[in-house]
């Protein structure tokens, strides 16, 4: 009961703060995909994502684990979004947050996650959906149908939404989007400058 009350109170704060900018102004969202693993859990088997180049948005398997990924963060306490796919079948969603409102079963369903303490780090993976699509298709993060928003809540209760349209992933060989297209290019340097770094 305490968890339900705390969860409702937190999302009342979220609703009141929709216009308040937070500490994650560059937040971006995509779907990372991997072939389904039956023994995957929140404590083991989550993808290791440290930077944008680690994101995988295409998988050949028709039975895939699809991870909504919020990245370019400084800190987070919650997030809200929806998830959609072609919808041949429903999905099984596993949440890795402390509290959750909503459930993703059908395409377009929305969910809100919160953690009971501030989470540091540049990447948030709030859970994953097991999606089986024999004909293939694209899996995309979309606005939550209840609020019409995709956002991340920082530890000071400020909210940020992605500036760019979330990159979608492809399963069963369908191509996914390039999630790193808006990243700053690598700085060029002369061979002499590079060599001095290793001297």
Q: Is 4's pLDDT higher than 80? A: no
The verdict on domain 2-177 having CATH code 1.10.20 is no
Residue 9, pLDDT score? 44
Average pLDDT for 159-171: 96
Name the phi and psi angles at 195, rounded to 5: -65, -35
Closest alpha carbon to 93 in 134, 133, 132, 131: 131
Give the start-to-end residue ranges of the domains of the chain.
2-177
Which pair of structure tokens corresponds to residue 197? 């770094």
Tell me the per-residue pLDDT of 135-154, one tens digit each, with 9 for 90 and over. 999 999 999 999 999 999 99
**How does pLDDT run across 174-185, given as a tens digit for each residue?**
999 999 974 433
State mean pLDDT over 65-91: 97
Please report the pLDDT score of residue 181 as a whole number.
73
Cα–Cα distance for residue pair 36/133, rounded to 1 Å: 12
14-45 residues labelled b (16+ CB within 10 A) or e (exposed): beebeeeebebeebbbbbbbbebeeebeeeee
pTM for the predicted model, two decimal places: 0.82
Q: Could you tell me the pLDDT band of residue 21, with boundaries at 50, 70 and 90?
A: confident
The span from the CA of 33 to the CA of 35, in Å, is 7
Higher pLDDT, 187 or 43: 43
- Supply the pLDDT for residue 20: 66
pLDDT in tens, 95-142: 999 999 999 999 999 999 999 999 999 999 999 999 999 999 999 999
Burial class from Cβ neighbours inside 10 Å (0-12, 13-18, 19+) for residue 148 reads: exposed
Q: What is the distance between the alpha carbons of residues 22 and 12, in angstroms, rounded to a whole number?
A: 17
Higher per-residue pLDDT: 14 or 95:
95
31-68: per-residue pLDDT in tens?
999 999 999 999 998 999 998 999 999 999 999 999 99
């Amino acid at each position: 009961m305490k968890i339900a009350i705390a969860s409702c109170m937190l999302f009342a704060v979220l609703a009141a703060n929709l216009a308040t900018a937070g500490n994650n102004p560059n937040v971006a969202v995509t779907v990372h995909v991997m072939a389904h693993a039956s023994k995957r859990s929140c404590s083991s088997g989550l993808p290791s994502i440290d930077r944008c180049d680690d994101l995988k948005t295409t998988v050949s398997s028709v039975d895939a684990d699809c991870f909504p990924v919020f990245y370019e963060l400084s800190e987070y306490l919650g997030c809200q979004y929806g998830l959609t796919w072609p919808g041949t079948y429903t999905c099984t969603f596993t949440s890795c947050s402390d509290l959750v409102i909503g459930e993703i079963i059908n395409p377009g369903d929305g969910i809100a996650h919160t953690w009971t303490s501030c989470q540091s780090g540049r990447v948030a993976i709030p859970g994953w959906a097991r999606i089986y699509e024999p004909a293939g298709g694209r899996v995309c993060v979309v606005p939550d149908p209840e609020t019409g928003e995709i956002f991340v809540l920082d530890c000071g209760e400020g909210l940020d939404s992605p500036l760019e349209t979330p990159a979608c992933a492809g399963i069963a060989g369908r191509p996914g989007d390039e999630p790193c297209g808006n990243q700053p290019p690598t700085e060029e340097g002369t061979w002499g400058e590079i060599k001095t770094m290793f001297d």
